[in-house]
Structure 1
Amino acid sequence: MAALLPWLAWFIITLLAVYILNLLAQARRGLPPGPRPLPIVGSLHLLGNQPHRSLARLSKIYGPLMSLRMGSVTTVVVSSPEVAREFLQRHDAVFTNRSVPDATGNHSRNSVAWLPNEPRWRALRKSMGTELFSPHRLDALQHLRRDKVQELVHHVGRLASNGEAVNVGRVAFITSLNLVSRTIFSRDMTSLDDHGGSKEFQELVVGIMEAVGSPNLSDFFPALAGADLQGWRRRLARLFARQHRIFDTEIDGRLRGRETGEPRKNDFLDLLLDVAAKDDNTAGLDRDTLRSMFTDLFSAGSDTSSSTVEWAMVELLQNPFSMANACDELARVIGSGKSIQESDIGKLPYLQAVIKETFRLHPPAPLLLPRHAQVEIKIMGYTISKGSRVLVNVWAMGRDKAIWPEPDKFMPQRFLDRTVDLRGGDFELIPFGGGRRVCPGMPLAIRMVHLLLASLLHHFKWSLPVEAERNGVDMTEKFGVTLTKAVPLCAIATPI
């Protein structure tokens, strides 16, 4: 034991020396202010299980542009619209690349969400914008989504007639999943009734989102990434492989149908296969890229949309005045007994205000997807070093009392007299991000969220169970890639 003491002392001295040198180097680099890091772990101990809230509290001490050392990675956190504009608009080219989670493994090499800013990524983005998410393409496929919403209304109606509470997040998630699958494959990938093996795909999507959003030592200590100590990369690889087999079945079936002369469906799969078959396939739409694209669409399109609908319902149920205004507008504009069309959304300003207020209080991705500084750059007098990870805390921006009066209150009316573009033009509200990395599926997501919420409100009167009325609704959040409700909302629906 005595022989080990000199080695232990040497190790402690070396560790302290590295720590002190790191602090001095950080000061010399002129990084934004931030908490003093501990040896090895840096400021990881300050995050807790609600990092968006912890970082918001720290920003009140150190300012809207601060830096922290997360393990061995320098992380810059942006917490105000003015600073966000600097990073996502004025200096967008420097921060266009993503900081890729280690767990995504090979998937990131073909994913529009994670590919670096290079010709292939730009070609894929262009194809998505012109071939998939343009207004005329979405209009052409809206009948597929309308069918899914009618199924949702019928399912909730059956639960209501049986006296069963509705798990709003669950039915919204499954419907969102099928809205996406109808748009891509012209068929359902799961079922509201969970019959047969349809639940497998739903579980795959949930598993992938949970794995990507889980804290991973490999992201905080890149030198350890090769060991995959927590096994997230291996777990995700298995989930991706199972999901890709399902996608391959869809792709192979469609290709065989083309060979035998089956009628075209003109859905996303047909459109993408057309692009892949062109001689000038600059987007590089090979099989691996199609798989990754479908994974991104299902993950982003279902989880974020359903969580927004659930949070909106939670807020409306706790704010009867807002609920009454939304329902009155729907009855006046749509009319009793009529189904809502996507073209009706523009005629419903209060419903749009409800969605904006929900995005403000409960942004689907509270820290957006992380960016990566490609070069060293000076911003607002501070040095952002090359390789820094950049997080934009849109949750903190939505709760900033300097921007929003009474920021913790649900008040949709604040958006009736205030024009705010949630598509990335106004940095006070950027639930889909901003700049070149704004979410490419945003046009579809906006349609889906409004259609789902409007249909639930228009066809049913909603109330909380007696216990929730008496004890209050548990508003605890579950942090991950998306900010979901930890305790599902179960509400009572009564047909109108």
Structure 2
Amino acid sequence: MEGGYSTPVIWLSAALVTILLLKKWMNRTSRSSMLRLPPGPPAWPLVGNIFDLGTMPHQDLYRLRPKYGPVLWLKLGSVNTMVIQSAKAASHLFKNHDLAFSNRTVPHAMTAWSFNQGSLGFAPYGAYWRILRKICTTEFLVNRQLNNSTELRENCVDKLVDWIEEEAIASRDGGGSGEVEPTHLLFLMSFNLVGKLMLSRDLLNVKSKEGHDFFKAVNMVMQRAGKPNVADFFPLLKWIDPQSIRRNMMKDLGTAIDIVASFVTDRVEENLAGREKVKKDFLDMLLEYEGDGKECPKSISEKNITFIIVEMFVAGSETTSVTVEWALAELLRSPQSMRMAKDELEKVIGATRKIKESDIDKLPYLQAVVKETLRLHPAVPLLVPRCSMEDTEYMNYLIPIYTQVFVNAWAIGRDSETWENPMCFNPLRFLGSSINYKGQDYEFLPFGSGRRICVGMDLAHRVVHLSLATLLWSFDWELDISPTLETLDMTERMGITLRKLVPLRAIPKMRKIVLDD
């Protein structure tokens, strides 16, 4: 079963008769025991509020807000869960209680190989996590390092253009219309880019099947991680693993770990041989880390380095392709917005040179398109769940320790109290606005906020804008049918990220451009 929180195993249905008999009693007793908890729908015995959520939990939670307010309390199986669904509530959380809610809720699938203990995204809040965060934010993903890798990103996006043109030609040669699926090629580009940034390897072009095996394994890891798991709702079932999600994750994650471990071993041997390097990549920085040996370890183990590299592939490849696909789909549904974006590119870029990353700051409308896309289609709509580290007073509620916390960025971006015509795609709302996604504007949180804000935000900013601008500048995109608001199916599919249920397919017509020498 893909996406959402529908009943994951058949045996739950057998308990419905008992549940119906006990529901009235549960409703009555829950009132007295939850006086200081946020409001929420009555919980059923055993399963709690699982039946209140369907395959699109971010949408179901959004629909519960008019009745229960912007702070919602749920019992998902045996897991206490709080949901934040307004800018004001998010501001209280991140400004006043960020530290208290800085732990992570870890999906059972991500405990395979103890992956959660070594990764950045799922590691418990503490000294080790702070080390990884510091390496990323002050050593690797800092502007100085990002500027040094500009040419690499531009080359990867150039290759994306070649792939799109080749696939369109192959479609026409095969009797088709020339349609391509941009998101698939965007994912391949992003995957290759991460490989070059992390490992200085062009993984999809290696002659051995190693790179392709790794690509396949990472894809499977993403599928496993995005699949709802009954063991996450009922921790007592973790040792049974009733859906075999963790067992399957052990296999696929194990394949990815083994391949990256071989890359790490190769690099260690190269370093011991004294081989000189012109530029250092992320793997070099992890291997060269030296701590004080007291609060911080003296070094990061090769096992944990492997976990971090795998995590970067999972996180970095998926989110970029998702965002650019949604942006392109919205522009195809809005010819006026498409025209404005293209006019801006013509004015700033002209028709005699390629787009460079340095052009992004000169393209305010393109930036507004990306912001509007992220408002309506945040890649991770509920962000990565947090977990309370202690009993906490929050907005006059008493939130128990170990409470799972969802911040519904999708709902906050559609809040009519904050946004005018929130369901409408209108990039103009961001022109002249100081609102950005760096975590300080709580009405707009596609990357989160506080200590656990997405570490790759600045890199994503560059790659998404460069990719989208290049696709719009290099091709005139068309659909087989006339583009209208009703033409494209914009139904969502929930997994590790929020994708289109039906992948975008469009016809790229290469523009006649004569480049300067």
| Interval containing the TM-score (normalised by the shorter chain) | over 0.9
User: Does the 8 Å CA contact 2:223/2:496 hold for their aligned counterparts?
Assistant: yes
Q: Does the alignment pair 1:173 with 2:187?
A: yes
Change (3 A) 1:333 1:68: same
Residues 90-112 of structure 1: per-residue CA shift (max 9 Å, x gap): 11011000111111111001111
Q: Does the alignment pair 1:254 with 2:262?
A: no
Structure 1: gaps of 5 or more residues: 1-7
1:396 to 395, 411, 416: 411
By how many angstroms is 1:457 displaced? 0.7
Matched letter for residue 417 of structure 1: G
Q: 1:183-262 maps to which residues of 2 (within 5 A)?
A: 183-190=197-204, 198-262=211-275
User: Does the 8 Å CA contact 1:190/1:201 hold for their aligned counterparts?
Assistant: no
By how many angstroms is 1:161 displaced? 3.9
1:122 paired residue number: 130
1:74 paired residue number: 80
2:98 paired residue number: 92
Under a length normalisation based on structure 2, what TM-score does the superposition of the two structures give? Answer: 0.89
- Cα distance in 2 between the residues matched to 1:45 and 1:117: 32
- Cα distance in 1 between the residues matched to 2:207 and 2:500: 22
By how many angstroms is 1:481 displaced? 2.2
- Cα distance in 1 between the residues matched to 2:67 and 2:496: 26
- Cα distance in 2 between the residues matched to 1:289 and 1:91: 29
2:30 paired residue number: 23
By how many angstroms is 1:20 displaced? 5.9
2:10 paired residue number: none
By how many angstroms is 1:469 displaced? 6.8
- Greater Cα shift, 75-84 or 260-269: 260-269
Q: 1:305-316 maps to which residues of 2 (within 5 A)?
A: 305-316=320-331
Matched letter for residue 389 of structure 1: Q
Q: Please state whether the residue corresponding to 2:228 is helix, strand or coil.
A: coil
Change (3 A) 1:425 1:45: same
- Cα distance in 2 between the residues matched to 1:471 and 1:366: 23
Change (3 A) 1:195 1:170: farther
Under a length normalisation based on structure 1, what TM-score does the superposition of the two structures give? Answer: 0.92
User: Does the 8 Å CA contact 1:477/1:486 hold for their aligned counterparts?
Assistant: yes
2:434 paired residue number: 419
User: Does the 8 Å CA contact 2:289/2:299 hold for their aligned counterparts?
Assistant: no
Change (3 A) 1:476 1:492: same
Matched letter for residue 86 of structure 1: H
1:3 paired residue number: none
Q: Please state whether the residue corresponding to 2:329 is helix, strand or coil.
A: helix
- Cα distance in 2 between the residues matched to 1:283 and 1:77: 39
Q: Please state whether the residue corresponding to 2:416 is helix, strand or coil.
A: coil
User: Does the 8 Å CA contact 1:124/1:283 hold for their aligned counterparts?
Assistant: no
User: Does the 8 Å CA contact 1:311/1:362 hold for their aligned counterparts?
Assistant: yes
Matched letter for residue 384 of structure 1: I
1:447 to 462, 466, 471: 462
Q: How many residues align?
A: 485
Q: Please state whether the residue corresponding to 2:204 is helix, strand or coil.
A: coil
Q: Please state whether the residue corresponding to 2:91 is helix, strand or coil.
A: helix
Matched letter for residue 40 of structure 2: G
- Cα distance in 1 between the residues matched to 2:400 and 2:298: 32
- Greater Cα shift, 277-286 or 366-375: 277-286
Change (3 A) 1:468 1:317: closer
- Cα distance in 2 between the residues matched to 1:169 and 1:347: 26
1:356 paired residue number: 371
2:11 paired residue number: none
1:290 to 291, 297, 305: 305
- Cα distance in 1 between the residues matched to 2:23 and 2:158: 64
By how many angstroms is 1:202 displaced? 2.5
